[in-house]
A and B are shown apart, each in its own frame.
Chain A
Amino acid sequence: MSPLTLHDYLAVGAILFGLGMVGFLARRNLIIMFLSAEMMLQGVALNLTAFARYRGNLQGQAFVLFLLTVAACEAAIALALILMLFRRNRSLDVSLWQELREDDQPPNLDEEPLPPAPEPEPLPQLTPAGHEPVHAEPSHEEASHV
């Protein structure tokens, strides 16, 4: 088996980038889109390390270190944003944020809307024993902090 050449690394990088791009364009779930974007980033990072190895210097490596740092920060921010968006709409569907378009543009409506999300399966609970104590109904605010 021949040793891995630069082309192999570049091919993997390109595949990662392509998958990420297709995922970003095709999926509407914010988290999946984010993950796809990360995947594209990793494809690029792989390219950089491969080139660095091939050229025999460390510039690409250093670049990748920065890239990872930035990606970490970006992940934190992106997840925070996604959390906030989810709280507002109770959904991760990115097409619900269409109102950020120009005022006079018509909305793009789904011809076949997504099926409603299935109810989460109830967790198994132990049968309460004895007399149930009186407890306050959890408020809406607290529930939303889940």
Chain B
Amino acid sequence: MFEDPRILWFIPGLPLLASVVTAFLGPRLLRDKSHWPCVLAVIASCALAIGVFASVSSGFQGLHTSYTWFQTGDVDIGVSLRVDGLTAVMLVTVTFIGSWIAIYSIGYMHGDPGYPRYFAEISLFVFAMTGLVLADNFVLLYAFWEGVGLCSYLLVGYYFAKPSAAAAARKAFLVTRLGDVGLLIGILLIYTALGPSLDYESVMPRGQHASPGVLCAVCLLLFTGAVGKSAQFPLHVWLPDAMEGPSPVSALIHAATMVTAGVYLVARCTPLFGFSPSAQLVVACIGGFTAFLAALIALTQTDLKRVLAYSTISQLGYMFLALGSGTSHEYLAGIAVAAAIFHLFTHAFFKALLFLAAGSVMHAMGGVIDMRRIGGLRKVMPTTHWTFLCGAGALSGFPIIFSGFWSKDEILAVAFKAGQPGSFANSIYILLFLLGLVTAGLTAFYTFRAYFLTFWGPERVPPEAGHHAHESPPVMLVPLMVLAAGAVFAGILLGPTGIFEHFLEVHWMQAAFPRLLPATEHHGNLPLMVASSLFALGGIGLAWWLYVRRPALAREMAQALPGAYELSKNKFYLDEIFAALVVRPLAGLAHFLRVFDQYIVDSFVDLTAHAPRWLGHLLRPVQNGLVQFYALLMVLGLAGFLLSVLMR
């Protein structure tokens, strides 16, 4: 379809143009029509991305360097974009989900005073993310990586007049910055250890010849960046607070543009990770543990969007579990990465859908999203209800029908295979597999707990909703329906048929890391599917039993286990622990340094300022306004000069 790689520039270029246009013309000229540049540009870039995807599947591998950004020593950093199978998948995911979110926002943000600003920032976000997946070297990737961070800061803090939103934005920015520092050091280490160059093509093949220690350090540092961006333990604390932004922003951050960046980075660097089993083990452990921890926290949250936020953290944990399970010994890298990216793809659909549906609920309920105050909305908002149900089914991995089942099952299969006897650290992997299986049950439980609490039971509408709680307008419902269709069918179309894996393998993996691919095909594991189905169905059934049949029982259970309940409800006190261990010591240090600066450093600075003044004070009597005195001084000066000449 496309032959010229220059077409790639339009994919990030159009949203950037839209962002600039909206930013400059929005407040004066476009006003209520400010969504047009953003929506059109993102849809156009989605169309281009689909075109590029089609071209990639017929063998097109584009690389285009527009100019050299900078040149230092013997390394050229070019502003260059490339596309291969992985990038094509990411592009389609990001722009497709982004388009529907942009359309949904027209209805959701209608009448907001910051309307143009919102759409300018959304376009910029899509620009940064598409640039990130298209970048051809680590420096450009890092630049876009920071761009994504900036946009998330702007959008999480969209209601910046609200102190909690401003704090959440600051938290999101600073916590992800912690990871970014690791990423930066990792990139520098790549330059010294695997360099001297930073573009993927020359760095990646050197991974297998590097010394294991250095390679492990590189991988772990890169993974630090991913941990921050993709909200893995212990840097996951920013994501639940990021709910302070408007709901479509949450959808965008959780599904398309932000948290997937970390997964993309690790997947992109598979040729490095694949040769460092210990780094992979760390990735898998962090992923599995995060998945489990977040699921535990999600069990007791009462804020619908917060439940969804923890489910995102948990699902991202699954993806990292898969990425970390692709050990080189078993030639699992191919299916592991494919499983992770497949889960990323399906997750993008159903998580965007769930957030948009939650936003629709919030829109109708006058901004109330606390599940203790709403309930029984399935009659009030029928379309939102069944689309949410599609998303919940997919998230909980309801067997066969929903997409989440297929992708999650592949991840569990990879973890199981990594735990086969005889392979590296197999006992840990088998433990992680079991953890994943339990988490699948927990996921199903908390997802349907949220679903039942919101849409079933007696109808409860908070007073903020006004007299007539109503279904959202069509501009919000159509995106919900489209994404619901994706959440349902994406899995069954792409999962069992193996199209997705095949596409990634042919158009990316075979060129990128042929040595990590197996000689034989892997096939699905039926007992495993049955087991994960049972866990999912068990979770859903338990949720139904506790929240529909016996609503009192849940409360009794919470009272019977006060310690566990409080632990989960307060997010294992992780925020408090971080506050005590990190924030408070740093604040103390900052306070000490402030005092030090104010009284010690500043006094030296003041000294240099006062010294000329004192000197001036000494010399000031000379300027007494008497002309004869000046003349006398001149004569004396002349006399002194002459004397010095004569005496020499």
Chain A positions near chain B (C-beta within 8 angstroms):
21, 24-26, 28, 33, 94-95, 97-102, 104-105, 107-108
A98 to B624 CA separation, bound complex (whole angstroms): 7
* 0/1 interface trace, chain B 369-397, chain A, CB 8 Å (1 if under): 00000000000000000000000000000
B residues in contact with A97, CB < 8 Å: 625, 627
Could you say which of B620, B621, B631 contacts A25, with CB atoms under 8 Å apart? B631
B residues in contact with A21, CB < 8 Å: 635
A residues in contact with B635, CB < 8 Å: 21, 25
B residues in contact with A26, CB < 8 Å: 628
* 0/1 interface trace, chain B 597-627, chain A, CB 8 Å (1 if under): 0000000000000000000000011011111
Q: How far is the CB of B235 from chain A (nearest CB, A)?
A: 61
A105 near B627: Cβ-Cβ < 8 Å: no
Could you say which of A24, A25, A99 contacts B625, with CB atoms under 8 Å apart? A99
B624 near A108: Cβ-Cβ < 8 Å: yes
Could you say which of A94, A99, A102, A107 contacts B627, with CB atoms under 8 Å apart? A94
Could you say which of B625, B628, B631 contacts A105, with CB atoms under 8 Å apart? B625
B residues in contact with A28, CB < 8 Å: 628
Chain A binding surface, main DSSP class: helix
Q: How far is the CB of B619 from chain A (nearest CB, A)?
A: 10
B631 near A102: Cβ-Cβ < 8 Å: no
- Tell me whether B595 is interfacial, beta carbon within 8 Å: no
Shortest 10 CB-CB distances between A and B: which pairs? A101-B625, A98-B625, A102-B623, A101-B624, A100-B625, A102-B620, A94-B627, A105-B624, A25-B628, A24-B631
A26 to B632 CA separation, bound complex (whole angstroms): 10
What are some 30 contacts across the A-B interface (CB < 8 A)?
Answer: A21-B635, A24-B628, A24-B631, A25-B632, A25-B635, A26-B628, A28-B628, A94-B627, A94-B628, A95-B626, A97-B625, A97-B627, A98-B625, A100-B625, A101-B623, A101-B624, A101-B625, A102-B620, A102-B621, A102-B623, A102-B624, A104-B620, A105-B620, A105-B621, A105-B623, A105-B624, A105-B625, A107-B625, A108-B624, A108-B625
Other 11 A-B pairs with CB < 8 A, given A94-B627, A98-B625, A102-B624: A21-B635, A25-B628, A25-B631, A26-B628, A28-B628, A33-B627, A94-B628, A98-B624, A99-B625, A101-B624, A102-B620
Chain B positions near chain A (C-beta within 8 angstroms):
620-621, 623-628, 631-632, 635
B residues in contact with A105, CB < 8 Å: 620-621, 623-625
Q: How far is the CB of A104 from chain B (nearest CB, A)?
A: 7
Q: How far is the CB of B635 from chain A (nearest CB, A)?
A: 6
B residues in contact with A101, CB < 8 Å: 623-626
A residues in contact with B628, CB < 8 Å: 24-26, 28, 94
Looking at B621, B623, B627, B632, the one whose CB has the most chain A CB atoms below 10 A away is B627
Q: How far is the CB of B334 from chain A (nearest CB, A)?
A: 85
A residues in contact with B620, CB < 8 Å: 102, 104-105
> Which residue of B is nearest A33, CB measured?
B627
Q: How far is the CB of B574 from chain A (nearest CB, A)?
A: 64
B residues in contact with A24, CB < 8 Å: 628, 631
A104 to B624 CA separation, bound complex (whole angstroms): 9
A107 to B626 CA separation, bound complex (whole angstroms): 9
A residues in contact with B627, CB < 8 Å: 33, 94, 97
A residues in contact with B632, CB < 8 Å: 25
A107 to B631 CA separation, bound complex (whole angstroms): 18
B residues in contact with A100, CB < 8 Å: 625
A105 to B620 CA separation, bound complex (whole angstroms): 8
Q: How far is the CB of B634 from chain A (nearest CB, A)?
A: 10
Looking at A94, A100, A102, A104, the one whose CB has the most chain B CB atoms below 10 A away is A102
A67 to B396 CA separation, bound complex (whole angstroms): 104
